[in-house]
Amino acid sequence: MSALEQIVYVVDDDQGMLDSTLWLLESVGLRAVPFTSGQAFLDADIRSTHACVILDIRMPGMGGLSVQEALRARGLALPIIFVSGHADVPIVVRAFRAGAVDFIEKPYNEQLLLDSVQQALNQWSELHDQSALQAVLQRIASLTPRESDVLLPLVQGYTNREIAEQLGISVKTIDLYRSRVMKHMQANTLADLVGMAIASNLVDPLALRGRCASGQDQGNSL
């Protein structure tokens, strides 16, 4: 599965509606994965990938609201679009309070559904970006004091030798802490590390020194 692939899970016990929804989604290049019951959907290998769910609210066995609650209990933050031919105000209110992206009555307008799906996929991207940023902030907060001392001048563009002079320790020690910082922050390159620092507002991108901003790796020779 491609990391960028967008998936729409469609859960509906009405086979005719399910087939027409799949055709519509696939006609615009989206990958649609069908399920005829809420339990079958939950039993599948569903992951918090770039996806959303079109979920029938009234189904035999497990209804859409119960499926929504089960997803939340599993920590799967998938945006949900509810569809139903028998909507009433209390159900709609409950769905939105639980975090539904939209609630569309059957038979639905095709463009309306496609617009709602795009909104849901965009919401997933925003949630994913926020989660990634939180993970970076947590990694920064868990650095040791000395690792933090090395991180800031490193992403600002100072060389290992310059950092060693600032901190009054040897270049070899800076080399060691630099490696620790890269590993702890899960950064493959210095450019990755700088990007994390900018995203977390640790540094001002306009204030970076030229060597760092150019993306050149400052190894032991600098």
| Per-domain residue ranges of the chain | 7-128, 143-213
The predicted structure's pLDDT at residue 149: 94
Please identify, in words, the CATH class of the domain defined by 143-213: mainly alpha
Distance CA 185, CA 181 (A): 6
- Name every residue whose Cβ is closer than 8 Å to that of residue 103 and which is 6 or more positions away in sequence: 57, 81, 82, 83, 84, 87, 92, 95, 96
The predicted structure's pLDDT at residue 219: 47
CATH architecture of 7-128: 3-Layer(aba) Sandwich (3.40)
| Residue 97: pLDDT over 80 | no
pLDDT > 70: percent of the chain: 86
Which residues on neighbouring strands pair with residue 52, listed in sequence order?
8
Q: Quote the mean pLDDT of the chain.
A: 83
The predicted structure's pLDDT at residue 48: 59
Q: What is the mean pLDDT of residues 59-82?
A: 88
| Residue 206: pLDDT over 90 | no
